[in-house]
Chain A
Amino acid sequence: MDLTPHLPVLQVVVPLLSSPLLLLLRPRGLAWAGAAAVALLSFAIALNMALAVAAGIQFSYAVGGWEPPYGIALSVDAFSALILLIVTGAGAIAILAGKPSVDREIDAERQPLFYSAWILAMAGLTGIALSADAFNIFVFMEISSLASYVLIAGGPDRRALPAVFKYLIMGTIGATFYLIGVGLVYMMTGTLNLADMEARIGGVTDINPLLVAAGFITIGLALKAAVFPLHVWLPNAYTHAPHMITVFLAACATKVAIYVLLRFDFFVFQANLDRHDVQFSLFLMPLALLGILVASAVAMFEGHIKRLLAMSSVAQIGYIMLGASFITEAGLTASALHMFNHALAKGGLFLAIAGLACHYGDLRLARLAGAARSMPWTAAALVVCGFSLVGIPGTAGFVSKWLLLDAALDEGRFAAVLVGVILVSSLMALAYVWRIVETLYFKPAAQDVATPTGEAPLPLLLAAWLAAIANIGFGLFPQFPLELCSAAAELLLGHTL
């Protein structure tokens, strides 16, 4: 039997159904093995679909044979394939490699629950990327969010609890805003299917409710995506979460929200609302620019390595939004590629940090001084991924920054400002990454910190190096993600006027 046409539904059903089953795997290590198998299988499905999409196939799937717009529809195009790849890739690597770190942080008897929530979060995130239905996106968004709250609060650090409470409040407000927006659109069009919405929205005569809807949806998703200044939940949540959860969430959680934001704004509103493109640009571009500068500046003076990188994530989200706000093919390609590259770089960085955390209890920079002497390989992987974050040539980050700058040069009278901000922030990124490098390599170790007895656990080290090599590999040969990204950009723009 050829499973290819059923891949979209398998992508979400496999993790969704296996999540409760993991609870039953009580014996030691079995839950991990089960979760790893599910994650790998999901990744294989996503990779299969991405390859098929790159070859020109589009998936659309009607669950249970009920045709859209009545049934539940799933669809996979270049953009969603890219996101699925990021989500399942990050999940698979983090679960596979993360065992030593998770074993340290989560009690053995709670591990089945932990892995079950993790797989559930992954199912939710893949569901968002797959859904062609506005309300299902909401449901999957809440599934993934609830599971992530559980995961973040699951660690031994009590500071995670207030952080996750804040995340829960803000996340719920964001999701509810989105729900209000969807309700308003439904009121005016009578459909929840995105494609159907796009077709019908043009016929709506009174567009005021739609404008309000666009506002609610954009702001709600911006909250979920931690677009500056709605990012306040992010730094603490990432900092105090279990290390492997930080790897997973930093690589993909916010990107999925951005995905929905772009999809809604470009597919549904852009073509049909007069001057929506201008409003979208004018709203997001200043926020993106401010976010890039402010978050980078904060990161430069941050003393805790995880919080430093979390602030840098806020800045990177700014880059992604900036590229999107150009509403040009070049800009959207740069944006999409930056999502992919940032996932690689940040994922790798947090993997290496999880490795460091196996020997260092306190992850403040001052305590990590001289770590490279006893953990040279871990530190080297961290540096490579850090350079990718800065955009040093030869790494993946450079390719997307290059594209972003190239796209910015087309922006006419704003070009100089945009290029200036991107470059200044790159220098700021260099400054904060260099602080890490200097601490690890060139500073004498703190007096009262025990010298690590060796490298990070092997799985973590291998995974961090896999990410580092991917950063270099996709920096030199970015064709495959680039193809997906330019296809995604074309797709997004294909729906504008």
Chain B
Amino acid sequence: MNLLELLGYFNYWVFAIVLTVGLYTVIAKINLVKKLIGLSIFQSAVFLMYITMDKVEGGTAPIIQKGMENQVFSNPLPQVLILTAIVVGVSTLALGLAIVVRIFEAYGTIEEDEILDAD
């Protein structure tokens, strides 16, 4: 496989790297907010993957208008899916932050090790 072919998968490489960065952050950080940031990065990588795969060479946004019926469109389905997934991701993040707030109220800290020590 030569360099060009590798570069042809550029988006997927980015997907893999962003995914790993996110996962690493979730695992390695002990600050709960940083963990949530990691989680968001991790999810964003998946959005990128879906958006990449729906791209059709030379395709345009899949909006049917008069006079454009024969145009090549990108696949609309993954875009719709990822809109849903983004909503899910945002809700998860919101809930996660809400829990962090409550943890701060209950424990006075958002560092994982200090929370473990408190109980």
Contact = CB atoms under 8 A, between A and B. Distances in A.
Given A150-B95, A169-B35, A173-B23, A161 B88 contact: no
A28 interface: no
A172 B43 contact: yes
Chain B contact surface mostly: helix
A179 B32 CA distance: 24
Nearest to B35: A169
B71 interface: no
B95 A158 contact: no
A377 interface: no
Interface in B29-78: 32, 35, 39, 42-43, 46, 49-50, 53, 77-78
A159 B42 CA distance: 27
A183 B119 CA distance: 41
Interface string A321-348: 0000000000000000000000000000
Contacts of A158: 106-107
B109 to A, nearest CB: 11
B39 A172 contact: yes
Interface residues of A, number: 25
Contacts of A135: 81, 84
A225 to B, nearest CB: 19
Contacts of B81: 135, 192
A183 B49 contact: yes
A159 to B, nearest CB: 6
A176 interface: yes
B88 to A, nearest CB: 5
Main secondary structure of the interface of A (DSSP, over half): helix
A135 B103 CA distance: 32
Interface in A170-203: 172-173, 176, 179-180, 183, 186-187, 192
Contact of A139 (B39, B49, B88): B88
A187 B119 CA distance: 47
A169 B42 CA distance: 11
B81 to A, nearest CB: 5
B26 A146 contact: no
Given A159-B119, A173-B26, A165 B78 contact: no
B101 to A, nearest CB: 10
Interface string A130-173: 00000100110010001001100100001101101100110011
Given A158-B106, A172-B43, A173-B26, A165 B49 contact: no
A165 B43 contact: no
A176 B42 contact: yes
B105 to A, nearest CB: 9
A169 B22 CA distance: 12
Interface of B: 19, 23, 26, 32, 35, 39, 42-43, 46, 49-50, 53, 77-78, 81, 84-85, 88, 91-92, 95-96, 99-100, 102-103, 106-107, 112, 115-116, 119
7 contacts: A135-B81, A135-B84, A161-B99, A161-B106, A164-B99, A172-B92, A192-B77
